[in-house]
Structure 1
Amino acid sequence: MPPSHHALTVRLPPAASAPALAAALTAAAGLWWPARRRPRLWTQDVPAPPGSAAAARRRAVETGRPLAPGHRLRAVLLRYTGGERPKGGGPVATADGERQEGVGDLVLTADGDALDARSLWLVARVLRGELAPDAVTPLDGPLPPDLGAGGAARRWAAALAVTVGRYEGAASVRVAVPVPALGRPPYALGALDGYAVFAADLSPGRTVGELLATPLRPPVGDGPPPLGLVDRGPADGEDGVTAHPCPRPPYARTYLTGAVGPLTALPPDPGAVPVPVGQVERVRARLADVSPTTPLSALDPLDAAQRAARLALGTTAPAAPTAPRRIEALFAEQAAARPDAPALTCGDATLSYARLDDRARELADGLYALGVRPGDLVGLCLPRSADLVAAMLAVLRAGAAYVPLDPEHPAELRERTARDAGVRLTVEDPARLTGHPPRPAEEAASPSAPAYVIHTSGSTGRPKGVLVPHANVVALVEATRGDFGLGPGDTWTCFHSAAFDFSVWEIWGPLLTGGRLVVVDHWTARSPEDFRALLVRERVSVLSQTPSAFTQLAAADRAEAARGSALAVRLVVLGGEPLDARPLLDWFDRHPEDRCRLVNMYGITETTVHVTAGAVTRGQALSGSRSVGRPLPGWSVRVVDAHGRPVPPGAPGEIVVGGAGVALGYLHRPELTAARFVPDPRGPGRLYRSGDLGRLLPDGSLEHLGRIDDQVKVRGFRVEPGEIRHVLLEDPAVAAAAVTVTGGDGDAASVRIDAYVVPAPGAGEDTGPVRERAARLLPPHMAPTTVTALPALPLTANGKLDPARLPAPGEPRPPRTPPTAATLRKAAGTGGPADPAVPASLSPGPAGPAAALAAIWQEVLGVEAVGPEDDFWDLGGNSLYAIRIAALARERGLPGVPLRQLYLTPTLGALSEALAVPPDAASSGSAPASGA
């Protein structure tokens, strides 16, 4: 791909005159080209010496100006006058006393599609009188490129490909390379030289010799590469001649090369990662020095100093290193210092630090009486309550580690998790732990002992239990205490499930800094309006939320703020899933940054909840920043390639975490632990290979770019599709299975998990039982939205699943009695008698709200029709969708739809009937234990 235009600046001797140049140009052009649009000489006087900054700026303007459409060549004579010429003529006197007579520059600008670099130099030689015009022969080009030539350019292309491959994490890189025309006559004129493509294969195992043997290929029809070399041309470096190969770079990243001058990088397009020339030159030198059998992986663009700088960039030293501590020891210090201060609020009851300490001691005695000893694992299957927090403290006091089992998860899943962990016992009723004698005094356990085990999704179908020690949790609190200003004046909320590691931060953050913890019950956590009311009522100052939940809370806050109830929140910590900062502008309008600080934190269960922290500002919201901030004090972040080497600045790679937060490993999974928790090759300690893709920016902040593998986040939870597939394959009715995760695009509620199964012989095609079994064994956020039966899974030629050929998933459940437009008209009394399948409350008029409610269901759930017997959850509903339905119902003048009511009456007909009766009757009864 030639430049759109290129130029030469030719310094003319004092004897050169404009009329002579014009005559020479006219004569030559008459020989070379037809009469139409022949070039002419333009002259301009520049009132400055030729060596001045003003003259340089004028030359730059002229060389950068493109040609008019249809023109091959433009010739401009710049005559430097240095000021007013004396009366009567004579030489020009410059400001510095230099006397110059008629010194000028001839600027020749050519259309790259008409004249190549060698042709433009031939024109300059003719106009300088060095070559006769009739010695030059115009040709119609282009000629075929000499793909065997261009050895120097090929080596530059190889070095450029290797370096760019490191920046982009690419296994193949295409570079446009300038090559001479094959058999070109010495004085031929035209666009004859060409470009070829150097397609570098950078796959693992490739060698230097294989790379350098890569043949040049003619350009293909899919457009030029975004990366290319441009030859400076033969004139660069000649006496009095300066080449300007491409004032407007033809590629997103353009580099100038040639026999004269070093490699030069032109400014890249916005969004293109700039690749420093020095690193390309380093790789090129290595290509010339190493053996052809050297692996490409040995070619590192960074030198030792640059690698050290990258490691330092992602490391934040602790502000004040302290000895490791245990969680219950720090809590005991708070209880001793402030025994009467409020520690925990749940509902209408508040426990002081002393009372919570006593309750934990009582439960610890009971654990000992039931056989729990230091080092044991204890399952906690308790709802969010004061007893849950007390039981956690009790387990730690007993020297054991707690394993949270969410009571809202299916019973079979909880049993599997408990068996995998090998718990000594599971606490479901704290009353069993009361009334026991005090346990004997024991030596204090080590801070490096496990404090808890939280399970995350696993690709083999078996959740992975992560062992996290006490010291890590204490280090997390200490790393954030100063910057976040955490202390006794704060009130926090425990909003998330104990089986989600965000809860570790929410619970121990306040209790180890003297603050108060407010436990949010199940139903309040699922109603943004009720949750906001709790924040106002309890004067909550520190709030932790996933972006999905915070979006719903912000909407409720917008509606309620106009009524005068103000939040006391001063710090919002966002984490658990990627943050799209753009919707936060509305929040900033009501809660300016100087009154409420928003912090985005990236974290992993295996590195103790949080790794980085970055303030979210209005400016970042406007720009849509993806930054997750810098590492916490004591944590480190590296971004590495497949060989564990730090990648160049701004380049993508795997996020690897070291420092104070790295967990002990996976419970009962030594092989997996060895693969993911690896020794630090540059010092003591271990690193955790996260499997996340990211890049470190020059300021040390991290951008999170998603997953390297197929793991996804669903409502803040890590989900391995392989685990869902494994559960499906355990079903005797399933012979083969595939799982896809679609949707999202910044909308966490729209993420859907679709399963495809091949029924086992004799099993039939009814997938209802398959889906119901999966729902019993998987947490709600992992249960497939649909299960579609197929005669066979589509495969690629290599025998792997071909997701592109999977059909659209089936309906979550076919609507049983979809109300048509005619049916609704009849029910409204405008088209005949009402359809007996539709209750009276389905009327869109005064008789009931169900027709409008059905329209809201269709809009939110994305289904075409909804009948009175259709179940919200079977149609793909989840708690986020339920919140949206409630908000839309209020906006359209319908009664509120409490999430609790959706559990009690999940069908459209039953819900409509419930909403038509007094609220106290609608809310009676007990809610089932399963969650959304």
Structure 2
Amino acid sequence: TACVGALDHMYYPVEEMIADAGITPQPNRFPLFNAIVTAQALDGDVGEDPIQLQRSHYEIQVYLNTAPQRAHIGLLYNTQLFHPWFMEQLLTHLVEILQVLTQEGTSLETLAGLSMPAMPKAPRTKALPYTLGSRLQQQIETQADRIAVDDFRNQITYAELGDLTQRLALLLRATLPNPAERVGVMVGRTVQLPLALLAVIRAGHTYVVMDEALPDARLAYMVEDAGIQYVLTDDVEKLAPFSDAVQAISLDEVLSSAPSGPLDDHSEEAPANLIYTSGSTGRPKGVMVPTSSVLNLSVDSNYTQVEPGDVFLCLTNFSFDPSTYDLFASLLNGATLLMGNKDELFDKAFMEHILENYAVTHTFITTSLFNALVDVKVAGLEKLKSLIFGGEAASPEHVRRYGQYYGLANLVNGYGPTENTVYSTCYPLSEWDTTSDVIPVGYPILGVETMLVNRHLQPVPYGVIGELWVAGDNLGVGYWNREELTAQKFITHPETGKRWYRTGDMCRALSSGVIEFFGREDHQVKINGFRIELDEIRAHLLALPSMADGVIQVSPDRQLLAHYVSTDSVSPEQVLDQLRQTLPAYMVPAQAIRLEALPLTHNGKVDLRKLPQPSATATTGPKEEPNTETEQQVLEVWQSVLGHDAMGVTDNFFDVGGTSIKVIQLLQVLKQSFDTSMTIAELFSYPTVREQALLLQPEEVAESDINKLTEIDF
């Protein structure tokens, strides 16, 4: 009876199976699996004629007819999902693999012999005929009267740039006679900052930017790790916490009194800069960038053309590697470097004023800032010669809207790790198919080679995802004082004999040579353009008193979240406050959530999918409710911009998920909702709902009730 009953149910139509499983069909995709192989063994010969393929319901269907002497293979695929060249290559490699597997002694090394196309590269036909120092001197002489740096308050010409950097370099040579010393630079965003950086290089030393917004503990680590003895500064008081470790050189004093004289070219005697990035061990690691790589990045490039008279708008933090592009692509090409207070520049009206009145031609912005500028539709972006964005995966929706507003002719997606000097590849969006949901990271810039490898360090063919390696004229020296890590990441390939950097990024190359990015193979993420090792944040979290366990993750709206287990009742506010003492602002989680225990999978790993989301878990104490209609309206704007409602009217915007990027969005929505001339600077100065409501409607509560908070710089 059971057998008869089974026979009654021997057929189970796929359509019924899908319906019974409650699977929602997707256009152009089969919901259960995406590939099927149909094999048929024939008694006779398969014949000369190819297999006649019919229509298939599957994304990929492979037909295999075999006979004693030979076989035929056919491939049917969905043309809306796959490109013909990719499927032709797939079929070619399938045949090659079958041929290899029928031979004796098959191994992975044998399979590596399959036909592999050359990976994308863009070698220079001849070496650049100058050093960084001689190229800079050329601009000083030929562009003497042109404005070199403008901070909106002061300007200096190339002639003045040459004189002042030469005087300062001579002073540094006398103070530090041995070459290749690390010199700290703690200077605000004024004309003095580029002066200090260039003087260090001209003196044959390496500059280390010390951002005063970083916690003292992190700056102290950089001073000790880099062996910094002297720091150039515009305010000696800034160095008070480190007065026992370093000697301050006041720019205001030495620039007016330093003697002049001849200066030889020392620019090749040391790396240009030492840039600290997040490290998985809990300690930031310093990347040494040689002057030759800076020169290759900045001069005679194939991703943008910079000419004397162009104007670079610098929106990046000088402690991060994109500033290398801003500084040198401008000043090594006779252009003007335009820089100022970032809080002002984040104001839509002010930025539109700058774009129009300063004739800006080039700028780099993070992907997050690019998205924000598109959201608020900043006018004038179409007048730029190039707008390069990068640091995170591009948003196709924002790029499409940019194209609708301004066209795509000047837009470039830039990609690259600090270890390969800012850009490894760039993609002109003018080539992009706007119907695609993937935006490539592009082609190698001049002097850069790329290679995609599998876990056995073997090259993979076009269309196959592998780890991206980069080599060539942009390559960094390695990590300062981290020989073991340098050996792990900067390696000599056993077959090519060439030195490569392993990016850890999973990519694929198409037949056109363009490269697409598909994520990381480790716990490194990029948020608002900052490279962040989640393990470094976790190490600092677990170092806190009473901390038993914890995990750091990225929320769907790209914010850092800390889930922790503590032996004592440590509040989320206490956790975040302690993390702010040792981590830079961009690495401090937006919210912390205390748990009794971390959820685990069956094999004992943390189950990230079961971690509670912040919208369902309050991270702070009781929230103060709005007292006025304006407070209620502003609170609703905050909730819309931040994407959650876990906040009260006295919470600080930056403690409940706000960032410098979201400030732009907040200001735009407030201006749409209220008739206001509020500025970005005011949002930083008054970062609570209550204070902003008072600015909008001061008659609701007396002005004296406003308690102005310290401006947050990050």
TM-score (norm 1): 0.66
What corresponds to 1:8 in structure 2?
A: none
Offset of residue 505 of structure 1? 0.4
The answer to whether the aligner puts 1:286 opposite 2:104 as a matched pair is no
Distance in 2 between the 1:794 and 1:141 partners? 44
Distance in 1 between the 2:578 and 2:669 partners? 33
What one-letter code is carried by the residue in structure 2 that aligns with 1:627? P
Distance in 1 between the 2:569 and 2:78 partners? 57
Offset of residue 644 of structure 1? 1.6
Equivalent of 2:290, from 469, 476, 487? 469
From the superposition, tell whether residues 227 and 779 of structure 1 become closer, same or farther in structure 2 (CA, over 3 Å).
farther
What one-letter code is carried by the residue in structure 2 that aligns with 1:364? A
Deviation digits for residues 140-180 of structure 1, max 9, x if unmatched? 99999xxxxxxxxxxxxxxxxxxxxxxxxxxxxxxxxxxxx
Offset of residue 223 of structure 1? 4.9
Equivalent runs, 1:706-745 vs 2, <5 Å? 706-743=519-556
What corresponds to 1:180 in structure 2?
A: none
Equivalent of 2:60, from 243, 247, 252? 252
Equivalent of 2:395, from 570, 575, 580? 580
The answer to whether the aligner puts 1:755 opposite 2:570 as a matched pair is no
Offset of residue 471 of structure 1? 0.3
Distance in 2 between the 1:328 and 1:927 partners? 45
Check the 8 A contact 2:51/2:72 in 1, yes or no.
no
Identical-pair percentage: 27
What corresponds to 1:347 in structure 2?
A: 152
More displaced 10-residue stretch of structure 1: 768-777 or 862-871: 862-871
The answer to whether the aligner puts 1:791 opposite 2:582 as a matched pair is no
Tell me, what secondary structure is at the counterpart of 1:385?
A: coil
The answer to whether the aligner puts 1:298 opposite 2:106 as a matched pair is no
From the superposition, tell whether residues 550 and 223 of structure 1 become closer, same or farther in structure 2 (CA, over 3 Å).
closer
From the superposition, tell whether residues 238 and 617 of structure 1 become closer, same or farther in structure 2 (CA, over 3 Å).
closer
Deviation digits for residues 240-291 of structure 1, max 9, x if unmatched? x997575537562313232165331323224355253342233223323334
What one-letter code is carried by the residue in structure 2 that aligns with 1:252? I
What corresponds to 1:391 in structure 2?
A: 196
Tell me, what secondary structure is at the counterpart of 2:491?
A: strand
What corresponds to 1:931 in structure 2?
A: 713
Equivalent of 1:316, from 88, 99, 122? 122
Equivalent of 1:269, from 65, 70, 78? 78
Deviation digits for residues 729-757 of structure 1, max 9, x if unmatched? 221231222111122xxxxxx31111122
From the superposition, tell whether residues 448 and 677 of structure 1 become closer, same or farther in structure 2 (CA, over 3 Å).
farther
Check the 8 A contact 1:604/1:610 in 2, yes or no.
yes
Distance in 1 between the 2:647 and 2:401 partners? 34
What corresponds to 1:776 in structure 2?
A: 581
What corresponds to 1:854 in structure 2?
A: 635
Equivalent of 1:523, from 343, 346, 349? 343
From the superposition, tell whether residues 729 and 635 of structure 1 become closer, same or farther in structure 2 (CA, over 3 Å).
same
What corresponds to 2:26 in structure 1?
A: none
Offset of residue 779 of structure 1? 1.6
What corresponds to 1:677 in structure 2?
A: 490
Check the 8 A contact 1:677/1:687 in 2, yes or no.
yes
Check the 8 A contact 1:409/1:931 in 2, yes or no.
no
The answer to whether the aligner puts 1:872 opposite 2:678 as a matched pair is no
Offset of residue 656 of structure 1? 0.5
| Aligned residue-pair number | 663
From the superposition, tell whether residues 526 and 288 of structure 1 become closer, same or farther in structure 2 (CA, over 3 Å).
same
Check the 8 A contact 1:228/1:251 in 2, yes or no.
no
Distance in 2 between the 1:927 and 1:661 partners? 44
Offset of residue 341 of structure 1? 1.4
Equivalent of 1:453, from 260, 269, 274? 274
Tell me, what secondary structure is at the counterpart of 2:76?
A: coil
Check the 8 A contact 2:388/2:413 in 1, yes or no.
yes
Check the 8 A contact 2:674/2:696 in 1, yes or no.
no
Check the 8 A contact 2:684/2:711 in 1, yes or no.
no
Larger Rg: 1
Tell me, what secondary structure is at the counterpart of 2:71?
A: coil
Distance in 1 between the 2:625 and 2:505 partners? 44
Offset of residue 537 of structure 1? 1.3
Offset of residue 498 of structure 1? 0.5
Distance in 1 between the 2:710 and 2:414 partners? 34
Check the 8 A contact 1:600/1:629 in 2, yes or no.
yes
From the superposition, tell whether residues 277 and 356 of structure 1 become closer, same or farther in structure 2 (CA, over 3 Å).
same
From the superposition, tell whether residues 253 and 688 of structure 1 become closer, same or farther in structure 2 (CA, over 3 Å).
farther
Check the 8 A contact 2:311/2:335 in 1, yes or no.
yes
The answer to whether the aligner puts 1:705 opposite 2:518 as a matched pair is yes
Offset of residue 486 of structure 1? 1.4
The answer to whether the aligner puts 1:806 opposite 2:619 as a matched pair is no
What corresponds to 2:509 in structure 1?
A: 696
Offset of residue 774 of structure 1? 0.6
From the superposition, tell whether residues 625 and 865 of structure 1 become closer, same or farther in structure 2 (CA, over 3 Å).
closer
Distance in 2 between the 1:542 and 1:440 partners? 35
What one-letter code is carried by the residue in structure 2 that aligns with 1:606? E
From the superposition, tell whether residues 331 and 244 of structure 1 become closer, same or farther in structure 2 (CA, over 3 Å).
closer
Equivalent of 2:443, from 630, 642, 646? 630
More displaced 10-residue stretch of structure 1: 883-892 or 325-334: 325-334
What one-letter code is carried by the residue in structure 2 that aligns with 1:322? L
Equivalent runs, 1:535-546 vs 2, <5 Å? 535-546=355-366
Tell me, what secondary structure is at the counterpart of 2:77?
A: coil
Check the 8 A contact 1:734/1:759 in 2, yes or no.
yes
More displaced 10-residue stretch of structure 1: 254-263 or 632-641: 254-263
More displaced 10-residue stretch of structure 1: 432-441 or 345-354: 432-441
What corresponds to 1:417 in structure 2?
A: 222
Offset of residue 852 of structure 1? 1.4
Distance in 2 between the 1:899 and 1:795 partners? 43
What one-letter code is carried by the residue in structure 1 that aligns with 2:94? V
Equivalent of 2:37, from 219, 223, 228? 228
Unaligned 5+ runs, structure 1: 1-139, 145-189, 192-221, 744-749, 820-837
From the superposition, tell whether residues 333 and 243 of structure 1 become closer, same or farther in structure 2 (CA, over 3 Å).
closer
The answer to whether the aligner puts 1:551 opposite 2:366 as a matched pair is no
Equivalent of 1:817, from 608, 621, 624? 624
Offset of residue 728 of structure 1? 1.0
What corresponds to 1:163 in structure 2?
A: none
Equivalent runs, 1:142-221 vs 2, <5 Å? none
RMSD: 3.2
Tell me, what secondary structure is at the counterpart of 1:281?
A: helix
Distance in 1 between the 2:499 and 2:47 partners? 58
Distance in 2 between the 1:374 and 1:579 partners? 41
Offset of residue 856 of structure 1? 0.6
Check the 8 A contact 2:280/2:536 in 1, yes or no.
yes
Distance in 1 between the 2:283 and 2:549 partners? 18
Distance in 2 between the 1:584 and 1:514 partners? 30
More displaced 10-residue stretch of structure 1: 465-474 or 637-646: 637-646
Offset of residue 225 of structure 1? 6.5
Check the 8 A contact 2:685/2:711 in 1, yes or no.
no
Tell me, what secondary structure is at the counterpart of 1:266?
A: strand
The answer to whether the aligner puts 1:881 opposite 2:690 as a matched pair is no
Check the 8 A contact 1:257/1:263 in 2, yes or no.
yes
Higher relative contact order (CA 8 A, sep 6+): 2
Check the 8 A contact 1:342/1:350 in 2, yes or no.
yes
